[in-house]
Amino acid sequence: MRILYIDNRNYGHNADLHIDFISYMSKKKYHRVIGFGKYLHKYLPEAILPNRRVISAHLDQVMAKYKPDLILTYNCNGSSYEISQDNINLYRWVSKYLAKVQIPKFHVTTDYCRSGFRQAQADWFSEIGYSASFFRHKVALDYPIGVDKYWLPFSIDKKLYLKNINKDVTSKSNNVGFLGAAHNSSQKLYENRISAIDALMKKNMLKITRVVDSKFTRKMLFGDKYVKFWTENLFGLTCGGTCNFMTAKYFQIPAAYSMLVCTDTNGIELLPKDTYITYRKGKVEKLISDLEYHIKNKDITREKIDILHNYVIKSHDHHTRILEMTEVFKKYV
């Protein structure tokens, strides 16, 4: 299919979760992806810089030249109302055109309603005339939006992980690796992981990166360094936050051949049972006990890691996710 991908965001540390997925779709030639956005030249070989002064006329030219089968838009942070990164504000620059163009349209939203449901956000999907929307978190399907909706969980680049992981559990550190926001971010949103981090630090069992500034921001890791951080530790910690989101790390940690330590969040039923450790605030003693058990019984730990790793590699890589997305496209194109 020919896809006109419209996205004007300048991606930073989270590019691998979002625009890299679209880039993978293009590089592996699942579809021909024509990018329309200010920063897309870094990710797509066919990328067009929008002329914001005559946006409708410019898009008419693009549509006439490429004759796309569908339009795809994407928001990696769909609940940031306070910084105008919600769906309405993020696509305000092109919304009038999107609403009038009569071809199938699809939108992907991450973190939808994390800051609370707003009717205007729900109405936006039908006002634009989307054929369907994809949500990265299953809990978003609970909200009415007026158009068809699908769950599109995160996925991993299988090749990146398989070439950088260590499968020898006896050579791994017995620590729990952690990367991400915690104490220096939302105390309420991340209360579960903060309680786990505090307990693990007291036990000297936590592995994190170094602080790089006065705001206690920790060094970020990307690509193979990111994978190697997870795989060198026997365990990897994440959580769904109080919003109950199944984040990308639920797939990335097992893909890196580390044992997933997480909160029991919405969508986790997707994973094979009894292959990961769950925890929650107020139950840190049980968490420590579970970790110590798996450190002492590494044959059992290896078996669990192997089951979940193989499942993620087989069923939640980019290839599988793109095929799932394509099947949805076919319903409307």
- The per-residue pLDDT string of the chain (333 residues; one tens digit each, 9 = 90 and over) reads 999 999 999 998 889 999 999 999 999 999 999 999 999 999 999 999 999 899 999 999 999 999 999 999 999 987 778 778 899 999 999 999 999 999 999 999 999 988 888 999 999 999 999 999 999 999 999 999 999 999 999 999 999 999 999 999 999 999 999 998 777 666 677 888 999 999 999 999 999 988 666 666 778 899 999 999 999 999 999 999 888 899 999 999 999 999 999 999 999 999 999 999 999 888 889 999 999 999 999 999 999 999 999 999 999 999 999 999 999 999 999
Whole-angstrom distance, CA of residue 194 vs CA of residue 183: 7
What is the C-alpha separation between 86 and 127, in angstroms, rounded? 15
**Could you tell me which residues are beta bridge partners of residue 71?**
4, 105
> For residues 36 and 9, is the Cβ–Cβ distance under 8 A?
no
| Torsion, CA 111, CA 139, CA 101, CA 39, rounded to 10 | 20
- Range(s) of the domain holding residue 20: 2-155+317-332
How far from the centroid of its chain's Cα atoms is residue 53's Cα?
33
Considering the domain architecture, whether residues 89 and 224 belong to the same structural domain is answered as no
Do 142 and 14 fall within a single domain?
A: yes
In this structure, are 291 and 307 located in the same domain?
yes
**Does 173 lie in the same domain as 137?**
no
Question: What's the pLDDT score for residue 45?
Answer: 97
If you ran DSSP here, which 8-state letter would residue 47 be given?
Answer: E
Collapsed DSSP state (helix, strand, coil) of residue 42: helix
Residue 52 buriedness (CB in 10 A; 0-12 / 13-18 / 19+): exposed
- Which of 262, 277, 182, 177 is closest to 227 using CA atoms? 177
Indicate which CATH number applies to the domain containing 77.
3.40.50.2000
Give the pLDDT confidence score for residue 185 in this predicted structure: 64
C-alpha to C-alpha distance for 276 and 259, rounded to whole angstroms: 6
Instruction: Classify residue 111 by its DSSP letter.
Output: S
99 and 203, same domain (yes or no): no
How much is the pLDDT for 183? 73
- Domain count of the chain? 2
Residue 218 DSSP class: B
**Shared-domain flag, residues 322 and 311:** no
* 141 and 172 inside one domain: no
Domain shared by 106 and 151, yes or no: yes
Q: For residues 124 and 165, state if they share a domain.
A: no
Residues 144 and 213 in one domain: no
Residue 96 and residue 56 in contact, taking contact as beta carbons nearer than 8 Å: yes
Same domain, 136 and 247: no
Q: 10 Å Cβ neighbour count for 53? A: 7
State residue 212's pLDDT score.
66
Rounding to the nearest 10 degrees, give the CA dihedral for residues 293, 154, 312, 286: 10
Is 55 in the same domain as 134?
A: yes
pLDDT of residue 31: 98
**Nearest alpha-carbon partner for 205 in 291, 299, 290:** 291
pLDDT digit string, tens, across residues 152-206: 999 999 999 999 999 999 999 999 999 987 776 666 778 889 999 999 999 999 9
The closest alpha carbon to 241, from 259, 265, 261, 217, belongs to 265
Tell which residue, 229, 236, 208, 220, has the closest CA to residue 165. Answer: 229
| Confidence at residue 77, expressed as pLDDT on a 0 to 100 scale | 84
Q: Which pLDDT belongs to residue 83?
A: 78
